[in-house]
Amino acid sequence: VEFLYCDLASMKSIRQFVQQFRAKNCPLHVLVNNAGVMLVPERKTVDGFEEHFGLNYLGHFLLTNLLLDALKQSGTHSHNARIITVSSATHYVGKLHLNDLQSRCSYSPHGAYAQSKLALVLFTYRLQHLLTANGSHVTANVVDPGVVNTELYKHVFWVVKVVKWLTAWLFFKTPEEGASTTIYAAVSPEMEGAGGCYLYNEERTKSADTSYDEELQRRLWTESCKMVGISDEASRLP
């Protein structure tokens, strides 16, 4: 195992990481987008993005796009390269505010977190559409890990922390259990060639109705390209 440093809250760090990875000339068969924060107080990343949207979504958007060439080169007809993005059931109540993605008008930790998780689902579906249109041997899927007992809950209200401490053993998944669907998406033969899926408990299920809005997917993709400073070649595709 070899580690390379990458701060998903910094566009500069992401670009430096990609340069270091490319210099190794390694194939890239699986990319798991899993970093995240939840219910943090209103604050910004080093690039000035609202932290939920900047770290949970934009960081992964840029990282994935910068690594797409390596993924495409590594995938074959019989063994597709795979992109797995970790979202959350919270996306079901999320609303995408295209005119205020940074939550400047009215900040809510819950709303900002849910929006970032919905954005990840919309991004995955648009990405799969583009990969298919290009004939790439790469698939993109999105995963809901369930309620997992990790440090992600450190910013919740203290009463919730107490309830979590008392009931986690009964209602929460262990980190190993929470990772199972991500691992399934990454290596299962059953997922070979399958893309654009929303997975929960190792099964394909339906995501929020709004996540299937193709116009919303396109608009978010275009706006995201502007925000992270990459060309939107995809805008010329159907």
| Cβ atoms < 10 Å from Cβ of 214 | 12
3-state secondary structure 152-198: HHCCCCHHHHHHHHHHHHHHCECHHHHHHHHHHHHHCHHHCCCCCCE
Those residues whose C-beta lies under 8 Å from the C-beta of residue 113, and which sit 6 or more positions away, are 37, 38, 39, 52, 56, 90
Pseudo-torsion of CA 75, 80, 84, 89, nearest 10°? 160
Q: 16-40: string of b/e by CB count within 10 Å (b at 16+)? A: ebbeebeeeeeebbebbbeebbbbe
Active-site annotation holds for 153 = no
Distances in whole angstroms, Cα of residue 206 to Cα of each of 117, 144, 198, 201: 15, 11, 6, 13
Of the residues 57, 92, 113, 184, only one is catalytic, namely 113
β partners of residue 140: 83
Give the residue numbers marked as catalytic.
113
